[in-house]
Structure 1
Amino acid sequence: MNMIDKIKTLFGSVSVSVTPDVSTYMDYSWFSTENQEIFGIKKNSISEEQNNLLECLFTKLDSDEILLPSAQSEWFQYLFLSKGHNPFSFETEVSLPTSIRFIHFYSNQLFSNKNEFEEAINAFFHKEVIVVWNSAKEGVIIEKIIDQPFNKEFLEHMQEIIAADLYHDVTFFVGKRYSPLANLSLYFDIEHQCFKKALSVKKQKSILWFSKEMLYYILSFLPDDLQKELPNLFLNDMKIDDPILSTVKIFLQQNLNVTATSKKAFLHRNTVQYRLDKFSEQTGIDLKHFEDGLVIFLAIHLLEIVNKN
């Protein structure tokens, strides 16, 4: 039984409509499910308490949204259901942005007031954005970029303010820039799957970046036995809490810079160099070569995954 059937069972088929009529649609309170299915319930058939509950569970639609397809609905069909065409393909060349970016979002709590969240997002961006909901917990912001996208500090500030003002600890996942006429449905799906994987393994979540999480997403497709054996193969059975290994990880994250590593790890420069030399001595791998360093970085990450699991 789908959601609409359940609604009909609860309120009675006579009181529920799924096909708005120009002459009678004002007699109904209209809602949209997470799958963008529209239904209306006769206003005289529901109490105020029932209406408030429905607004928490579904998206309440204004009367002027009922008869005309909304931009959000078109984008939902295209991105989440892979139906229809890229909505940008219907715009004139003059009105197209230079590029676009998807900023996915997720909260462990239900958004009881989606409009409040959308208003906050629009206030922060100070430019046209489209908020498309996938459920009462998650969705995506489509950022139209004319010159430069908002930077990391701006997005972190936005996340903090929303947490403080709306009491929602929202995780944002920032995608890369695309041409507005690209195969956005495909690229969105890859980002969305990567986001879901990142949510399942990240302990601290606020702002995540596709460019940083994609590598880990790819590694998750390795067979479990290979994920367990590769770290031992390259790291000579070092443990995750080994100080040499932790220093090596920071060294790789600091672009192979010993001075930056010593500052980040609060270690003397000579201590850092000693541990790097010790690692090379034990494994026979020279971290200053890009390909070798990349392999070790992946091996350390796999070791972290194995330990979490």
Structure 2
Amino acid sequence: MIEHLYTLYPNLIKVPAHTVSLDERYIWFSMNKEWIGIPAQELTDREALLLSSLLDKLEPEPDQLTTREQMWQKWMEDEVVPDKATIPTSFRFVFFSLKEEVNPSTFQEAVEGVFPTSMPILWDNRSQGIIVEEIHHEDQEPVSYEDIVNILMSDFYMKLYLYVSPFYYQDATEISSHAKWQRMCFQTMLQYEPKPVTTYKESIPYLHVDPFTAEQSRTIRNSLLLPVMDDPELIRTVRVFIESQSNATLAAKRLYMHRNSLQYRIDKFIERTGIDIKQFHGALCAYLAILHETKLSNDG
């Protein structure tokens, strides 16, 4: 049927179902888990009525964006150069991704219930979007996302991933480029099964690993980790140790093991690979090799 509709309406467009905002210049219908739009000027009332009897007609939702959200949307899409007087003292982008689709209004209410102040929220679709954390005065405390992510997950009974950018300070001309760069970091991190809260600094190593081809990643991994590839638990232990700033006490606590057991595993890794992860250079090489292994595992 879709081919026949394309013949009748060559300017027909398709979007994923449950797209948050529908272009009001089109008449929208639901079809095969997708939404199709036909330019209103190409569709007569009789044709619209006929299609409505065959397909579920959709109505565009009214614009739910606040004035502030509309401003941020224009700034991030580089449609308007912001007036410095309208920009907060500092700001950062918090990208979010839910495992399932939610009602934007319900999510907004939950966010407002745990955040100290109202913040702009811009949706990409019904499971992903951006929260703009604005700081308007010096005594305003930044939000601790580690403290609130579990509350939000319990509200929706599903996993929630947050990616937190660094703060930017009244940078009026670079908002669009900052947003695009941070979105790319966020999308990269989603590929690597991130923690509930991931920061920009934590994304940097992944950005260095991601561009490599599978063959290149495999070469790097095998050149450094081949002697321990038969022991994934040892590799996991080393990763947690390095991510704990090589603090054996902290790593042992995170791994729920005795410090002496951790030390034994570290020594075992060093002996089998020849990489001294107690030294900065060795830890860096091992960690990047482990990220290449993670990438290969995620790629299947």
Matched, 1:73 2:70: yes
Matched, 1:144 2:134: yes
Mapping 1:1-309, distance limit 5 Å: 1-2=12-13, 4-7=25-28, 9=38, 53-54=58-59, 58-61=60-63, 70-79=67-76, 82-86=77-81, 89-92=82-85, 96-111=87-102, 113-145=103-135, 146=137, 147-164=140-157, 169-181=159-171, 183-202=174-193, 206-239=196-229, 241-308=231-298, 309=300
Give, in angstroms, the shift of residue 150 of structure 1.
0.9
Give, in angstroms, the shift of residue 297 of structure 1.
0.9
The change in CA–CA distance for 1:163 and 1:293 in structure 2 (over 3 A counts) is same
The change in CA–CA distance for 1:226 and 1:98 in structure 2 (over 3 A counts) is same
Q: Which runs of 5 or more structure 1 residues have no equivalent in the other structure? A: 17-45
Give, in angstroms, the shift of residue 151 of structure 1.
0.9
Letter in 1 for 2:177: L
The change in CA–CA distance for 1:169 and 1:273 in structure 2 (over 3 A counts) is closer
Q: CA RMSD in A?
A: 3.4
In 2: Cα distance, 1:14 partner to 1:242 partner: 60
In 1: Cα distance, 2:260 partner to 2:101 partner: 51
In 2: Cα distance, 1:273 partner to 1:105 partner: 37
Same amino acid, percent of matched pairs: 23
The change in CA–CA distance for 1:118 and 1:240 in structure 2 (over 3 A counts) is farther
The change in CA–CA distance for 1:116 and 1:282 in structure 2 (over 3 A counts) is closer
In 1: Cα distance, 2:230 partner to 2:187 partner: 25
Secondary structure in 1 matching 2:162: strand
Whether the 8 Å CA contact 1:76–1:132 is kept in 2: the answer is yes
Secondary structure in 2 matching 1:140: strand
TM-score by length of 1: 0.70
Whether the 8 Å CA contact 1:250–1:261 is kept in 2: the answer is yes
Secondary structure in 2 matching 1:97: coil
Instruction: Count how many residue pairs are aligned between Structure 1 and Structure 2.
Output: 260
Letter in 1 for 2:111: I
Letter in 2 for 1:83: D
Give, in angstroms, the shift of residue 12 of structure 1.
6.7
Give, in angstroms, the shift of residue 160 of structure 1.
2.4
Whether the 8 Å CA contact 2:239–2:290 is kept in 1: the answer is yes
Whether the 8 Å CA contact 2:96–2:130 is kept in 1: the answer is yes
